[in-house]
Amino acid sequence: MLSVRLVGPGRAGRSLAGALVDVGCDVVGLLGRGDDLRAAAAGVDLLVLATPDAALPSVASAVAPVDDTVVMHLSGALGLDVLAPHRRRAALHPLAPLPSAEVGRVRLRSGITFAVAGDPLSRELAGLLGGRVVEVADEDRAAYHAAACIASNHVVALLGQVERVAASAGLDVEAFTGLARHALVDVADLGAAAALTGPAARGDQATIDRHRSALDPEDLPGYDAGVALARRLAERRHAAVPTAESLAEPTAEPLVVTSARAFSLAMDTERARGRTVGLVPTMGALHAGHRALIEQAAAECDTAVVTVFVNPLQFDDPADLAAYRRDLPSDVALAARAGAKIVFAPGVEEMYPGHPEPPAATVHVAGLTEVLEGTSRPGHFDGVATVVTKLFALAGRCRAYFGEKDFQQLAVVRRLVADLSLPVEVVGCATVRDPDGVALSSRNARLRPEARVAARSLRRALAAGLSRIRSGARDADVVHAAMWAELTGEPLVTPDYAEAVGAGDLRVPDRLQGDVRLLVAATVGGVRLIDNDGAVLDAEDRAQPLVSAVFVQTTKEH
């Protein structure tokens, strides 16, 4: 149990004392004016100085230092130097108004943000209270605290002006607080520039003039200052947010959004403007294969949209998740060159509130997920189905583009869309290959040179299987044997599976017929790779090859 003593029985001190008791801390005392502070740091893990900023240096110097005790202040404006001569110093500033001890006690445990500095105990304490943290260095504290005061004190002062102006029209301020609340939510979701509306934002001087004529002269300076700030923000938005004309250019920087609400709103806006949406879900680490998907989406739809989200539900090994390459600026740049206009790049908590606790609701597609990759990676396709369903729910009506390289994934997505009646058209796109026939994958970067050569055996195995089919083989075991022999003939390759299945149900049939898919998986030099190819057996039992790949000349860009 963390033992804590506080100095300063004001609103902040009493609010924090109550909140710490609620989370199981041992609050041993709350000292005030006239108390002897010399031994205040003795016998406790943490001493909190909840005094006014001007008193902090003198209060800190009045306390005899104790090497193992952390001395912490609650100031947003001051650095750690005011806590001299104490060895372990910290700062914890709650980004929330504390109007009373009773309200503050609850608010401090409501998931607010704390600005922390110094000893790690400050971060631990914020976590104990259930809050989020931002690190603020001493040299940045003045700017940080100015922003905090503008967000709280200045906003309240502005609403005071709203209250006065509303009263002049015979209205209560309550009629306008809901408007202010929605505006704040929009700023949190979209950013201030995108959330801005009103006459100053659209350059409507006539309306501004009418406002000024109706206001009391004492309120004009505040109103004019607000107009000036809105105009400045509008100028920044005009410079930062792509226009309809700039979005028409393939090289324009895409609009990047991280909020689920903002993404959904952007999709609704595109459709409201009569534009069709082409969605390309990815886990980032984009390469030429992804670029082909984005280019196809851009060619067939008015607005190509890329999602970049490393989905933790698709990883059964935390080390693989941690090692997965993340480079959003590079992904955005490639998406821009391919014609994407919007990139949705949410954080994990945006997609799975409560993470790392697993979501209570997940999506399972029975039948297609227990075979092939599902055997080697149990639970993987539940992660795929869950995140894709969430993305489709946020995106709304669209066309969604998936590569045939992950054919089982494509089959799972098609089934969940059909079974759940989602307003999404799923488009399968041909596998993109390097000139040596190896299917493009973010995993290829992990292949050593000799393993890269060995990886060609997957493509040779598929060719051997297709050759048997074209020669008349209709027994899946015969086709399997041909592919397996090709894989096992390469010393650096450890095969996982090599199957000929029905393209619709991914099951091995008694006799190959109709749409057939050949799928292989193997570990090559320690890296697991997959590939596939297909053919359609017509009514006369002849094998018709599918256009299942495009080839690219790779460059450093890819």
Size (the chain), residues: 558
Q: Which of 73, 290, 380, 480 is catalytic?
A: 290
DSSP state at residue 463: H
- H or E element in which residue 174 lies: helix 174-190
Distance CA 438, CA 432 (A): 9
252 touches 246 (CB < 8 A): yes
Distance CA 410, CA 128 (A): 43
376 touches 255 (CB < 8 A): no
Strands (E), 17-87: 26-31, 46-49, 70-73
Tokens of 241: 């947010």
Report CA 477 to chain centroid distance, whole Å.
44
The closest alpha carbon to 550, from 456, 465, 435, belongs to 435
Is 290 noted as a catalytic residue in this protein? yes
Within 10 angstroms of residue 483's Cβ, the number of other Cβ atoms is 27
DSSP string, 343-394: EE---HHHHSTTTTSPPS-----TTTSSSTHHHHSTTHHHHHHHHHHHHHHH
User: Where are the alpha helices (H) located in 273-317, listed in sequence order?
Assistant: 288-300
Distance CA 290, CA 293 (A): 5
277 touches 286 (CB < 8 A): no
Pairing of the two strands 549-551 and 431-433: parallel
DSSP state at residue 152: I
Distance CA 495, CA 492 (A): 10
- For 386-436, the three-class secondary structure string (H helix, E strand, C coil) is HHHHHHHHHHCCEEEEEEHHHHHHHHHHHHHHHHCCCCEEEEEECEEECCC
Q: Enumerate the active-site residues.
A: 290
